Structure 1
Amino acid sequence: MIRYNLPISSTAEETKVPREHVDTVFNYISHLLDTAAAGLPEIIADRSTELGRITKPIALAIKARILVTAASPLYNGNIDYTAFKNSDGAPLFNTAFDANKWKVAADACKAAIDACERTSMLLYTFSELGVTLSDTLTRQMSIRNSTCEQWNPEIIWANPSVSTYEIQRQAMPRLDPARIGNESVLGSLAPTMKIAEQFYTDKGVPMNEDKTFDYAGRLKLRTAVKAEGELIQEGYTTAAMHFNREPRFYADLAFDGAIWMMQKKMFHIESKAGQWQTRKNIYDNNTTGYFAKKLVNWKNEILEGQGLFVETHPWPEMRLADLYLLYAEALNEAEGPQPAAFTYIDKVRARAGLPGVQAAWTAYSRQPGKYQTKEGFRQIVQQERLIELAMEGARFWDLRRWKKSMEELNKPVTGWDVDQSDPVFYYRVRTLYRQTFQTRNYLWPLENWDLLNNPKLVQGFGW
């Protein structure tokens, strides 16, 4: 880490600097963000030309994320790195757990939340002039548009340098059977069975904990009745696990038998072999049977012929819901379950149409006291993050900082048997491929060229 630009007159030897302790790096980045935040505006004054520029709330929110990462198990008390030392023998990691790091992280989260709320940021709820929807669909649009409605009041940082055109084209299936020849949309961005199963039931607790949910029978077939009309096609046969799930399940995912609402039309998803959204060639196809509805703007439209209109939006690097959940996590790790932690996780759950954690677990979970312990509430917060931020890129980093990648990323990746036309055979779980994650994968290696040019550098752990 070089804090200052080296002068041009520096000798080759002066440019060869060693690595620094990971805590030093985190503290340096945090200091830089504090310095930057002091001179940044709280809001963008000229929204016509400057949206996307960095503001004080953005800097403080990213600082909060960094300090939560620094306090997390990968970097805080990780004994795997006991032997990971610098060229002079000095340790690069502090392998003794420091509880105060979580207190510092919680304070940073609260400072960022206060900065966001001073500028009137709030969790997004759908309200569009001239559009009247049922409560069910309004809830879905509040969830979907929290990521897809550009510059909405929940977005802390939207990055205009990252276009969502291609990811939407990959996520959106061929919705309209009248225009099934359209090759502009692919539907090949396929959430896995793991993602589908992690969403709660409609009682707001995990499927395998819900006393009212037949978890053992989740793979059985069931036919939808009229009451499911805005979620699953009436009279359509699909898996039992697609029924009685929380609103985010239906807002974020589509599946064989699902309803997909767009601005101009309501579509039915039928993705078994030979149906509308089935495989069309050997390359661009959905391999799991699930579609990433969350990433598709509801104003997109398949046009006549081969055209496609995509309502693009800047990629949401960070939303207020993310910050609320970071704060709940940091509070729990610092002091255990407490009212403020429940308050902020429940804000996110309320927008999703779910009861608060205490009420849901007490009434419906097979582990009713789970939220009362630090370990139990940790599991709840982690699952809430995996659900709320699904398909937004957070899971990749969360699993690493929680030091759970070895556990989760060595499991097989599974989905439905999408090449089958009969529901009995389609709804069989199949393994698509097996992942491999090793301890060394937590940190990326340095280039050999850099190591050759600077003997003071040491290679990343395990490489």
Structure 2
Amino acid sequence: MKKINKLLVSFFAGSLLLSTSACVKNLLDQPATTELDNNSYWQTEADAVGGAMAMYNNIKNVFHKDYFFDGHGDYVRVRAVSSISSLGTPSNGGAYWTGSTNGHYYPEGYGSAYDNMFRFLYGGVNRANYVIDNVTNMLPRLPASTENLEGIIGEARLMRALVYFRLITMWGDVPYIDKIVVSNDDVISIPRTPIEEVKNRILADLDYAFEKLPATRTPDQKERVTKAAALALRGKVNLYWGSWNKNGWPELDTFTPDAAKADQAFRDATEDFRKVINDYGLTLFRGGAPGEIDDLGKAETLPNYFHLFMPTSNASNETIIGFTHGGPGSGVSDKLMRDIGPRETESSEVNVSPLYWLADRYQSTTTGDFLPPMEQLSDRTQDAKYAADAATRPNSTLNPQTYLGRDYRMKSTILWNGEVIQRLAGLQAEGLIPYHHGVQGVNNGVRYIDYNSGTNSGYLFRKFVRNYAGQGREEGNMTWPVIRLADVYLMFAEASNEAFGPTPEAVSLVDKVRARGNLPGLKPEKYANSDLFFDAIEQERIVELVLEGHRAFDIRRWRKIEDIWGPPNGPGKFTTNTWGNNVTAYFQNKSERAYQQCYIFKIPQSEMDRNPNLRQNAPYL
């Protein structure tokens, strides 16, 4: 085998490194396979497994911070890039997400800021191709291991499908590469492949994966994908294909929507999701039960939804595709606590916080419907008496009683005035302390949560923030969920609603998701027609999947940016806070071109300069 040369093409910079992970034990404690010929490696089934685990380790680095993508939407704020620019280097994945031109997480102006993501996604493609080609070459030599080796090829083809799916959701047409890249000459002239052809190749990979993958895995193989994962991703690809063909993608000027293709895609997605739901014994975490909830201002007992997003839930089979992180000392830990937690949880930074509008999305556990919008203070924020009155005024954002009797996922997800969170310091738990918007540190002898100005809405996240000691802010062993069963329930409901209208089967699945928030089932008027049922599905996607990186991709495929922020050349919309102050204006007097650049991303100029056969997306011409 030809030795891999140092790559010149920036697609693949840094992609061929093997990192180590405690979760794969000693499988990666070996020389990099990219520097070994076939006389030394790719000789045994164990070699093939080691190569596959290295592939997972590489690809997880472009998915493990998907929560930043929620900053493109309307319910999550991500702080300025400069505040997250120190999260790491290519060896641990941080640089895939940061840098002044390599990641922008505001609702506008982000389309030209993902050069690194483009590059490192192609690194993931190359890693998958490397496993596919080398394990395929092993098949004639190891006939007794054919089934297992073909299963490993299936894993690699699924990972390649996952990476290419992310590429087309962001850039549309992209070059399709299905071989190992060993030199600049291999890719210097490859043009962009039409999105439908890339989509078909993704589906072909997933067809193979479904055929060859096992139906189940042992608990110590929880990161490795199964047949259900292939079906779930295939269903999601078809759902998006249906959305693009129904709603159009005018910014991708090579794409022509087709209503018939949309209908077929929705039908195909429905069938795949149905099989995931019915054929593999998958269940919602703790049976989908809401669990117990503590009183306002207490947090000794939190609902099941909170515990779903703790590393202690990693054995749950609700996660269908997920990337396992190694925890302390592994070098591949998650950074959820650093980005999401406040200062009082191991000196974290609140790089990610809820926008004000999220709180009003949590419905009544009595009626199952929205409550009246909460009332904010006026701009008289310096009026202490007025603020004190607001703390007891009915329906005020500063009155803790306003939050009583809402969806259990609210207490599991966000903190509001009077709520408490476990203080962690020096890997020790130091008791529950309260949050209050505008009050930090010790005040009148009481220690409050220090959030270091990381929130400007009046809310903090509780979701993903560990409430037990023993791990530092960058030492989490969370399995990051890429697709989980509740998401499949909601995608099934959406796809079947598009193909067949509201059905009892789809309504029942949405109700199962609602039940984990202790909400009653949907009232008939909420699914009287397809449009109303879509609204109910969208509502559940907002509260169920917040902070998991789905909202930005949803609103782009649904063509909803203008619905959220107003039309081009209009006043835009201010984010606000619990005091009633305007905070940040988005899309204020923005041109139609600015909107177009939020629906599709810019091909990196460096790639355009290097490859004359690449063509830029229309909004950037």
- The normalised TM-score by structure 1 is 0.74
Deviations 1:255-308 (A, max 9, x none): 111244799854432333355446575xx6332221110111232479xxxx77
Give me the whole-angstrom Cα distance separating, in 1, the residues matched to 2:249 and 2:309. 38
Aligned-partner residue type, residue 400 of structure 1: R
Aligned-partner residue type, residue 438 of structure 1: Y
Matched, 1:61 2:232: yes
Give me the whole-angstrom Cα distance separating, in 2, the residues matched to 1:158 and 1:7. 27
Which ranges of structure 2 fall in alignment gaps of 5 or more residues? Answer: 1-174, 327-331, 378-388, 424-428, 567-571
Deviations 1:333-387 (A, max 9, x none): 11111111101111111122111112xxx5xxxxxx2421111111110111011
**2:340 counterpart (161, 166, 171):** 171
Aligned-partner residue type, residue 327 of structure 1: F
**1:269 counterpart (435, 448, 453):** 435
Give me the whole-angstrom Cα distance separating, in 1, the residues matched to 2:272 and 2:366. 32
Aligned match of 1:379: 535
Aligned partner of residue 357 in structure 1, secondary structure: coil
Deviations 1:310-337 (A, max 9, x none): 6531212221101110001111111111
Q: Is the 8 A contact 1:193 1:415 kept in 2?
A: yes
Within a 5 Å distance, the mapping from 1:134-213 to structure 2 comes to 140-148=302-310, 149-161=313-325, 165-175=334-344, 184-203=347-366, 205-207=368-370, 213=371
Give me the whole-angstrom Cα distance separating, in 1, the residues matched to 2:607 and 2:343. 47
Aligned match of 1:100: 264
Distance 1:313 1:267, change over 3 A: same
**1:112 counterpart (260, 276, 288):** 276
Q: Is the 8 A contact 1:158 1:318 kept in 2?
A: yes
Give me the whole-angstrom Cα distance separating, in 1, the residues matched to 2:347 and 2:564. 34
Within a 5 Å distance, the mapping from 1:380-419 to structure 2 comes to 380-408=536-564, 412=573, 414-416=575-577
| Residue range with higher mean Cα deviation, 257-266 or 327-336 | 257-266
Give me the whole-angstrom Cα distance separating, in 2, the residues matched to 1:285 and 1:7. 42
Q: Is the 8 A contact 1:329 1:378 kept in 2?
A: yes
Q: Is the 8 A contact 2:309 2:464 kept in 1?
A: yes
Aligned partner of residue 382 in structure 1, secondary structure: helix
Q: Is the 8 A contact 2:188 2:610 kept in 1?
A: no
| Residue range with higher mean Cα deviation, 191-200 or 434-443 | 434-443
Aligned partner of residue 156 in structure 1, secondary structure: strand
- The normalised TM-score by structure 2 is 0.57
Give me the whole-angstrom Cα distance separating, in 2, the residues matched to 1:122 and 1:20. 38
Measured on the aligned residues, the alpha-carbon RMSD in Å equals: 3.8
Q: Is the 8 A contact 1:139 1:353 kept in 2?
A: no
Give me the whole-angstrom Cα distance separating, in 2, the residues matched to 1:339 and 1:205. 18
Aligned match of 1:422: none
| Residue range with higher mean Cα deviation, 186-195 or 25-34 | 186-195
Within a 5 Å distance, the mapping from 1:5-404 to structure 2 comes to 5=179, 16-45=189-218, 47-48=219-220, 50-72=221-243, 74-78=244-248, 80-81=250-251, 84-85=253-254, 92-94=255-257, 96=259, 98-115=262-279, 118=280, 120-125=281-286, 140-148=302-310, 149-161=313-325, 165-175=334-344, 184-203=347-366, 205-207=368-370, 213-215=371-373, 217=375, 221-223=390-392, 238=399, 241-260=402-421, 265-274=431-440, 275=443, 276-277=447-448, 285-300=454-469, 312-358=477-523, 369-404=525-560
Aligned-partner residue type, residue 582 of structure 2: R
Aligned partner of residue 296 in structure 1, secondary structure: coil
Give me the whole-angstrom Cα distance separating, in 1, the residues matched to 2:373 and 2:184. 66
Measured after TM superposition, the shift of residue 32 of structure 1 is 0.6
Distance 1:188 1:79, change over 3 A: closer
Give me the whole-angstrom Cα distance separating, in 2, the residues matched to 1:372 and 1:33. 35
Q: Is the 8 A contact 1:279 1:285 kept in 2?
A: no
Aligned-partner residue type, residue 145 of structure 1: H
Distance 1:445 1:413, change over 3 A: same
Distance 1:6 1:153, change over 3 A: closer
Name the structure with the higher helix share. Answer: 2
Distance 1:204 1:3, change over 3 A: farther
Q: How many residues align?
A: 401
Give me the whole-angstrom Cα distance separating, in 2, the residues matched to 1:357 and 1:313. 32
Give me the whole-angstrom Cα distance separating, in 2, the residues matched to 1:308 and 1:16. 44
Aligned-partner residue type, residue 358 of structure 2: I
Aligned partner of residue 618 in structure 2, secondary structure: coil
Deviations 1:198-236 (A, max 9, x none): 2223346453xxxxx4437476935399xxxxxx9xxx9
Aligned-partner residue type, residue 225 of structure 2: I
Q: Is the 8 A contact 1:126 1:138 kept in 2?
A: no
Give me the whole-angstrom Cα distance separating, in 1, the residues matched to 2:183 and 2:287. 59
Give me the whole-angstrom Cα distance separating, in 1, the residues matched to 2:448 and 2:208. 51
Which ranges of structure 1 fall in alignment gaps of 5 or more residues? Answer: 86-91, 176-181, 208-212, 226-231, 363-368, 418-426
Distance 1:432 1:332, change over 3 A: same
